[in-house]
Chains A and B, each alone.
Chain A
Amino acid sequence: MSVPNEYMHDEMQSSFFKQLNLFDWIFAVLLVAGSIFAYQKYSHLMDGYEVGILFFTAASLIALGWLWKPMRALMFYIAVLSLFAINLYGADLAAAENNFFLKYLFSGQSATMWMSALFVMATMAYFIELFTGNAFTGKVAVAMTWSATAMGFIGLLVRWRETYLHGADIGYIPVSNLYEVFILFAIITALIYLYYEKKYETRSMGAFVLLVITAAIAFLLWYHFERDAAEIKPLVPALQSYWMKIHVPANFVGYGAFALAAMIGVAYLIKDSVVKRNPNGLVASRLPSLDMMDDVMHKSIALGFAFFTIATVLGAMWAAEAWGGYWSWDPKETWALIVWLNYAAWLHMRLMKGLRGPILAWWAVIGLFVTLFAFVGVNMFLSGLHSYGEL
């Protein structure tokens, strides 16, 4: 039976594969080709799980690019610039000092510095837009946030190569110490934010979300300059595992989403307290509606919760392989459980009890502190098996 004419237009819109354009397919083909190239070139260095992770990552990235179109361009730029930088390196780590492009733009550390600067400037630009209402500044803020994210990814990818230039047996995926995961945290939080910014078509939450990223950058810079944290050091045996490649990124989608929800919570509370006194004031009129912020907060926590669950389960599976038990009540595990229980309670309150309003916003803000403790506090104050990222 043929589809009646009236629906043809709608069908064009709704059939997922049919709405993909030429660029989508080129993008997918490039990703698949890239993965096959990587497989052919490096499969002798990978175990079965890592090959699986390679192709799973490619598939996920294709899906991400298709569902959220700007990702295609982002990935394209990241890939081109990272490959450019890696090519400049050749086999010589000293190029980081000699080559202009590496020294000032794309070496792991330089790109990270650019990311840091761009995030800080973007934060300021978002605030300027919030207070002045200048849309141009807002657009600049968005562009800078995208660029910062790209630079962060380039920094990590080039650093990945750099670890191997330090020695074939040293090389590791750069999500293995506190310095590296702070970069990861910043760019993942930014990406999640950019998604909601586009979806809800408002830039007024940017100032708040970028604030938490700036805080992370401040720590990152302190850590870099005071503790020489950017130095590449080989991994201890416990961390040499393919689990690292999936456990850590999944965790940071969780952390990033929780951080974002908390910052939206802050904006919510400010608006909530101001709007009653002065409904037409600057803050009240510039910030998005309470309903919308409530919605973003909820979606973000749901996203974070889903990924945090995956990450914790992956962590348990890794623990079963490395420490002899999937659950040892190690402080890091325990705090992951506490974070999980906290957001589980939050979601129950909202979904089952239908709670809305400032209580949930407060709860999301407090949740950030619980998360923060699980993220860095445990490593700083408590001893245990997870004592890798010490300050």
Chain B
Amino acid sequence: MNTANKKHTRLGIIFEFLSSMNFAITLLVAISFASVIGTVLQQNQPYNDYIIKFGPFWHEVFKTLGLYNVYGAMWFLALLVLLVLSTGVCIYRNTPTMLRDMQQFRLNVKEKSLRLMTNTQSWTSDKDSNDIDKQVQHYLNFKGFRTRVKQHDDHRVIAGMKGSWNRLGYIFTHAGIIVLCIGSFLDGSFGLTIKEWTGRIIPETRDIRADKVPATARLSPQDSLSFRGSISLQEGSSSNLVFLNIRDGYLVQELPFAIELKDFRVEHYTSGMPKSFESDLVIHDDQLDEPLKQTISVNHPLIYRGYAMYQASFGDGGSNLSIRAWPFRTQEIQAMDIKVEVKKSRVLNTLSGKYRLEIDDFNMFNIFPNTDEEKAATGKKFKNFGPSFKFKLRDASGVANEYHNYMLPVMQQGRLFFLSGMRGSVADQFRYLHIPADNNGSLNRFMAFQSLLHTSEKVKQIAKNSVKAAMSVANQTDKKMQDDVVNSMMNLITLFNQGGYIAIEADIKKKVPEDKQVNVAEAYVKILQNLLQNTYLEVLKQEGIDINKAVNNFDNQFYEDAVSAFAGIAAYGSPVYFQLADFKHRESSGIQITRHPGQNIFYLGCLMLIVGIFMMFYISYQRIWLIVKPEDGKLSLTLAGSGNRNQRDFANEFDQLAKQIVKSSS
């Protein structure tokens, strides 16, 4: 605008383009849209997830466009650079005008142009022009105007100006944006991206120990201006290596000091929700006379030598678990005691072959919301199921099921059960096997019952006795028939032991014509129930309970639950029940470590931006001119004013001003 000749040079055209309002607005909108992509498409996920989601073709397209890391993509950076350039050019072009505006009172203004302004007023006065001059200036000063006076040949101009800081507001906001962008560029990942492009670093994708990571994936403290990574420390361990995640790989950043985790604590509200996470850290640094001890928690990081350490996550740091392995489907009741660490595995020899037991996780607490009934009964909103552990059991062919076992029996509908969840794949929900606890809260009766069911000579004896008793009631003595019934009973129990009700059902479907299946099934269930009940009575007898008396409610219920559990074992997939007997808890703390040298520059930019915005919006830039001209022995006065914002408000203010000035001068 002001430099028309610039338009002719090529640089001038670029200049003109960069500083044009249309370009600026296009940029703002373009950055908005680009930003949306990054919020809709989850960023920095493993590539495999994307391939599954979009298919290989679109995956390749999206990958090439950098849509998986929009905010780190070169084209996005280019947009931001253009924004900075455009803003910069605007400042460069407008600042001189604005600064001049702040200084120039335009004392050569003509009466004619004053009369053409929106806010203007003319009148005559008999007073002395010097008096008017003094009074008006005084008044304007009082109202916050700076004033200047100039005597021309035939008239005098009094010019006032206020709110010129409004003009600085423009400069502040736009310079603020540039400053904050520079600050955030310093802290961005672009340095790394460039190093990656030039091949100086190659992210490591293998899951290997930190000290085995090759030099191309390692960064020394001097290498990186800024970074953001994380470190997971077990209680009692220390490290000076931080992992930076880059797409499907990582880099190892060395720190100039080592961090040791002394202790990690989780505090809970009475409801069971976590209240705080705290890590006691010790910094070991040659520069320190003695190690620096500091506790960090969420919202309270430790900042040391420009490195900030945040409490980010927590997990199991290798707790020691003592596990009792109870074999299923055998007459043995001998449980095996195993010791294993979380995140470790060991091989087990079971009756059904070799398995690998992989301990994934251990949890001290399992907090669940109570149902309304439970709330009414206990007065608590949450319940705690106590410690549990998760593990995988992998068979010789490599197929694994995942399990979730609770240490303590859990109350469900007034009964105590040992809960063990099982699922075949991560996508599934856990399905829980409910093993009833006996009246000592132990597994003993259930295991004794199971053992007896698998001891075929004893079951046969029980079957014989019950058949004999039944036949004597009916006055039957046919030996052949008795043997047949006993054999079919044994057949049934074998099927049930192997595969629960499902196996029996399958057997019926195979051997019995379709029209008779329902009847046969009913008969089978009766026979099976009879045998199971008699076997259970035998278990009770072994415990020393007088079985001639009526069986009490608890024992009755236990029987029902135990039989349901036996039926469920068929689908449980593990030949062993792993009971957590004891543990030594060891936690680990996930600490996020960042270095952001540009942070204060960023904040300075933000401050300039905010101050600038308030100056622009809430300081009104106003000018007033009064021309005093002697005419026919009188004074002819012309007042005019202009404001750069809120014309409505300014019109009111001008009327007030004019009223006072007219009043005092006429």
Residues of chain A touching chain B, judged by Cβ–Cβ distance below 8 Å, are 1, 3-4, 6-7, 10-11, 14, 167, 169-170, 233-234, 236-238, 240-241, 291-292, 295, 299, 302-303, 305-306, 309-310, 313, 316-317, 320-327, 329, 331, 334-335, 337-338, 341-342, 344-345, 348-349, 351-353, 378, 382-384
Q: Which of B32, B70, B135, B594 contacts A324 (CB 8 A)?
A: B594
In the complex the two chains form, is B35's CB within 8 Å of A348's CB?
no
Distance between B380 CB and nearest chain A CB, rounded to angstroms: 13
In the complex the two chains form, is B298's CB within 8 Å of A3's CB?
no
In the complex the two chains form, is B617's CB within 8 Å of A302's CB?
yes
* Stretch of B21-29, B155-163, B243-251, B530-538 on the interface side: B21-29
In the complex the two chains form, is B42's CB within 8 Å of A295's CB?
no
Starting from the known contacts A329-B38, A341-B29, 9 additional A-B residue pairs (CB-CB under 8 Å) come to A6-B135, A7-B139, A302-B617, A325-B594, A326-B602, A329-B43, A338-B36, A348-B28, A351-B645
| Residues of A contacting B: mostly | helix
In the complex the two chains form, is A237's CB within 8 Å of B275's CB?
yes
* B195 within 8 Å of A (CB atoms): no
* B308 within 8 Å of A (CB atoms): yes
In the complex the two chains form, is B276's CB within 8 Å of A342's CB?
no
* Stretch of B329-337, B603-611, B621-629 on the interface side: B603-611
In the complex the two chains form, is A313's CB within 8 Å of B610's CB?
yes
How far is A302 from B312 in the complex, measured between Cα atoms in Å? 37
How far is A331 from B42 in the complex, measured between Cα atoms in Å? 10
Q: For residue A169, which residues in chain B have a CB less than 8 angstroms away from its CB?
A: 269, 275
Q: Which of A324, A329, A338, A353 contacts B301 (CB 8 A)?
A: A324
In the complex the two chains form, is A237's CB within 8 Å of B297's CB?
yes
How far is A341 from B24 in the complex, measured between Cα atoms in Å? 11
Pick from B228, B593, B614, B617 the residue with the most CB of A within 10 Å.
Answer: B617
| A-B CB proximity, top 5 nearest | A237-B298, A331-B39, A6-B664, A324-B592, A313-B606
In the complex the two chains form, is B301's CB within 8 Å of A3's CB?
no
Count A-B contacts at CB 8 Å. Answer: 141
In the complex the two chains form, is A237's CB within 8 Å of B38's CB?
no
Pick from B43, B271, B613, B656 the residue with the most CB of A within 10 Å.
Answer: B613
Q: Which of B21, B39, B614 contacts A348 (CB 8 A)?
A: B21
Q: For residue B187, which residues in chain A have a CB less than 8 angstroms away from its CB?
A: 325
A-B contact pairs, 13 of them (CB 8 A): A167-B270, A241-B299, A291-B648, A292-B648, A303-B617, A306-B614, A321-B299, A323-B310, A324-B228, A324-B594, A325-B594, A337-B32, A382-B39
Flag B25-56 by CB within 8 Å of A: 1 or 0 each: 10011011001101110110000000000000
- Do A309 and B39 form a contact, CB below 8 Å, given A233-B273, A338-B32? no
Least CB separation from B612: chain A residue: A309
How far is A342 from B28 in the complex, measured between Cα atoms in Å? 7
Q: For residue A241, which residues in chain B have a CB less than 8 angstroms away from its CB?
A: 299
In the complex the two chains form, is A237's CB within 8 Å of B277's CB?
yes
Q: For residue B139, which residues in chain A have a CB less than 8 angstroms away from its CB?
A: 7, 10
In the complex the two chains form, is A7's CB within 8 Å of B603's CB?
no
* B660 within 8 Å of A (CB atoms): yes
- Do A341 and B269 form a contact, CB below 8 Å, given A305-B613, A324-B592, A326-B602? no
In the complex the two chains form, is B275's CB within 8 Å of A6's CB?
no
- Do A378 and B39 form a contact, CB below 8 Å, given A234-B273, A324-B308, A341-B28? yes
In the complex the two chains form, is B142's CB within 8 Å of A3's CB?
yes
* B293 within 8 Å of A (CB atoms): no
In the complex the two chains form, is B138's CB within 8 Å of A1's CB?
yes
How far is A236 from B614 in the complex, measured between Cα atoms in Å? 35
* B112 within 8 Å of A (CB atoms): no
* B432 within 8 Å of A (CB atoms): no
How far is A341 from B270 in the complex, measured between Cα atoms in Å? 44
In the complex the two chains form, is B269's CB within 8 Å of A170's CB?
yes
Pick from A4, A233, A324, A338 the residue with the most CB of B within 10 Å.
Answer: A324
Q: For residue B664, which residues in chain A have a CB less than 8 angstroms away from its CB?
A: 4, 6-7
- Do A295 and B184 form a contact, CB below 8 Å, given A6-B663, A238-B299? no
Q: For residue A237, which residues in chain B have a CB less than 8 angstroms away from its CB?
A: 274-277, 297-299
Within 8 A of A (CB), among B569-617: 592-594, 596, 599, 602-603, 606, 609-610, 613-614, 617
In the complex the two chains form, is A7's CB within 8 Å of B660's CB?
yes
* B549 within 8 Å of A (CB atoms): no
In the complex the two chains form, is A324's CB within 8 Å of B312's CB?
yes
* B646 within 8 Å of A (CB atoms): yes
Least CB separation from A318: chain B residue: B299
How far is A383 from B38 in the complex, measured between Cα atoms in Å? 12
How far is A313 from B617 in the complex, measured between Cα atoms in Å? 18
In the complex the two chains form, is B610's CB within 8 Å of A6's CB?
no
In the complex the two chains form, is A337's CB within 8 Å of B35's CB?
yes
Flag B652-666 by CB within 8 Å of A: 1 or 0 each: 000010001001100
Q: For residue B38, which residues in chain A have a CB less than 8 angstroms away from its CB?
A: 329, 334
How far is A131 from B297 in the complex, measured between Cα atoms in Å? 58
Q: Which of B71, B617, B656 contacts A306 (CB 8 A)?
A: B617
Within 8 A of A (CB), among B103-145: 135, 138-139, 142-143
Q: For residue A7, which residues in chain B have a CB less than 8 angstroms away from its CB?
A: 138-139, 142, 660, 664
